[in-house]
Amino acid sequence: MSRNATYNFAGMSALVMEHSSFLLSAVSLICRSVGIRPVHEATSAGEALALLRDTMPDFVITTCGADGRDGLALCTAIRGDDALPCRFVPIVMMTSHSVKHVVELARDAGVTEVLAKPISAAALLDRIVYVVDHPRPFVQAPDYFGPDRRRRPADAPYNGPERRLNAPVIVSAPVGVAGRVEAAAPPHGIA
Amino acid sequence: MYRAPARLIRRPNDLKLRAARPGGRTLAELRAVADTALADVQAEFVAWVVARLAVVATAIDDTRPSSPIEAGDVAMLREDIAELADSAATFGHPVVGDVARMMGEVVALATSADGRLGNADRRHVELLRSQVAAIRAVLNAGPGAAAAGAALLPTLRRTIDRLAGASRA
């Protein structure tokens, strides 16, 4: 992101899920103030999922919740339901518990970016701009669907344990395709 | 080690294309716009905190070993305090957020295995009351008094650490 880069969020939409009504209104206000409209508001994962069946937001911003279950359940539901049109949507999770364990749970649930509370307008906008500037490819594996969890430049070597059976087969999915990804032909080793 | 087949899906960056349309603003400009919008609701936030504090203060007054509040009410109290801690800094009151976070620690220390405030004694209750009073003082004094409020934090911290040490002993 260059300092002079400009961003026009007009016409982009968001869904915000937050239990606290005041924080919900604050996050929505931040989004609206920079042109993101409409901003759909939900106070629970169930409410958010109901909204997602009829809308296709460009961003989902969710709280992790006191015990983490509600926000993680929402992420798991979004990534796990290939009937949802917004399966690829960037998800920013706000959490008061930015401990390693919670961040790992969020990562494995398919969260795109984690944002530690207390949030500020600057921090939230930084995350939104980051997901716009740095989209991550999605990984489809038997036990995971979500953004690639290996955060490194594409040309940098991966030094961790190799858990992938095959070199990832790259599938280009056009914009507008719903959650279901149709590959031209299943790669070797993938049923 | 379990190894799984993986498929990497790359999609065109539609968001980047749309955000790059004419009429955009720099990140610094966007931040300034959002900060101004948040400032407009800060007065509402103070009113909201005062109402939340009243709820918390009532719960603290009910915190007596002879009449312990129910586990469900303790959970709600912790949620109220966590909400206060999470939202205060967002609305320009970081000291209130810090004190609220410390209140959460004290309530956690006072909570027994059954989810009630079974470990609470006079020290916990007095500390919680002093924390509620500190938040009220900071809010009443306005944003200019943040430094004075911040000066309270080390004392509150030491008191909590002493309580935690006593609990472990």
Cβ <8 Å between A166 and B20 = no
Reported as a single tens digit per residue, the pLDDT across B50-80 is 888 888 888 777 766 555 677 888 888 888 8
B8 in contact with chain A, both atoms CB, cutoff 8 A = yes
Cα-flanking dihedrals φ and ψ of residue A63, to 5°?
-85, 160
Q: Is the pLDDT of residue A157 over 70?
A: no
Count of residues in chain A: 191
B122 in contact with chain A, both atoms CB, cutoff 8 A = no
Q: Which amino acid is at A43?
A: T
Which of the residue ranges A66-70, A81-85, B134-138 would you say has the lowest mean pLDDT? A66-70
Of all residues in chain A, the one with the smallest CA distance to B6 is A141
Mutate to test the interface with A, among B41, B90, B111 (most CBs of A within 10 A): B90
Strands A138-141 and A91-95 turn out to be unpaired
Q: Which one is predicted more confidently, A179 or B41?
A: B41
Mean pLDDT of A28-46: 95
Report how far residue A107's alpha carbon sits from residue A98's, in angstroms, rounded to the nearest whole number.
12
pLDDT of residue A37: 94
pLDDT of residue B116: 82
Report how far residue B36's alpha carbon sits from residue B90's, in angstroms, rounded to the nearest whole number.
13
pLDDT of residue A59: 96
**H helices within chain B, ranges in order?**
14-19, 27-39, 42-61, 71-88, 94-110, 122-141, 146-168
Q: Is the pLDDT of residue A179 over 60?
A: no
Cβ <8 Å between B83 and A137 = no
Q: How far is CA A88 from the centre of its chain?
A: 7
- Which one of A141, A161, A187 has the shortest CB-CB distance to B4? A141
Distance from CA of A120 to the nearest CA of B (A): 5
Reduce the DSSP state of residue A166 to 3 states and report it.
coil
Cβ <8 Å between B5 and A166 = yes
- Note which residues in 44-63 of chain A have CB less than 8 A from chain B: 58
Q: Which amino acid is at B77?
A: L
Question: What is chain B's pLDDT, residue by residue, as a tens digit (169 residues)?
Answer: 566 677 888 888 889 999 999 999 999 999 999 988 888 777 788 888 888 888 888 877 776 655 567 788 888 888 888 888 888 877 778 888 889 989 999 989 988 888 888 888 888 888 888 888 888 888 887 655 667 677 778 887 887 888 787 776 6
**Local structure of residue A18 (DSSP, 8 states):** -
**3-state helix/strand/coil string of A55-106:** CCCCEEEEECCCCCHHHHHHHHHHHHCCCCCCCCCCEEEEECCCCHHHHHHH
Whole-model pTM? Answer: 0.77
- Which one of B4, B10, B21 has the shortest CB-CB distance to A142? B4
Q: Is A138 within 8 Å of A146 (Cβ atoms)?
A: yes
Which of the residue ranges A105-109, A112-116, B101-105, B133-137 would you say has the lowest mean pLDDT? B133-137
Long-range contacts of B57-66 (CB under 8 A, 24+ apart): B57/B129, B57/B132, B60/B125, B60/B128, B60/B129, B60/B132, B63/B110, B63/B117, B63/B120, B63/B124, B63/B125, B63/B128, B64/B120, B64/B125, B65/B118, B65/B120, B65/B121
A140 in contact with chain B, both atoms CB, cutoff 8 A = yes
Reported as a single tens digit per residue, the pLDDT across B40-53 is 777 788 888 888 88
Cα-flanking dihedrals φ and ψ of residue B80, to 5°?
-60, -45
Per-range mean pLDDT, top range of A31-45, A132-146, B9-23, B109-123: A31-45
Distance from CA of B50 to the nearest CA of A (A): 13
Reduce the DSSP state of residue A164 to 3 states and report it.
strand
Average pLDDT, chain A: 81
Mean pLDDT of A169-175: 58
Of all residues in chain A, the one with the smallest CA distance to B94 is A118
Of all residues in chain A, the one with the smallest CA distance to B36 is A33
pLDDT above 90 covers a percentage of chain A that reads: 44
Q: Which amino acid is at A72?
A: L
**3-state helix/strand/coil string of B147-166:** HHHHHHHHHHHHHHHHHHHH
pLDDT above 70 covers a percentage of chain A that reads: 74
pLDDT of residue A180: 45
- Note which residues in 34-53 of chain B have CB less than 8 A from chain A: 34-38, 41, 45, 48
Report how far residue B169's alpha carbon sits from residue B165's, in angstroms, rounded to the nearest whole number.
6
Strand order in A14-17's β-sheet?
A: A39-42, A14-17, A59-63, A91-95, A113-116
ipTM over cut 0.85: no
pLDDT of residue A17: 94
- Joined together, the tokens standing for residue A178 give 């719903």
- Joined together, the tokens standing for residue B39 give 């400032």
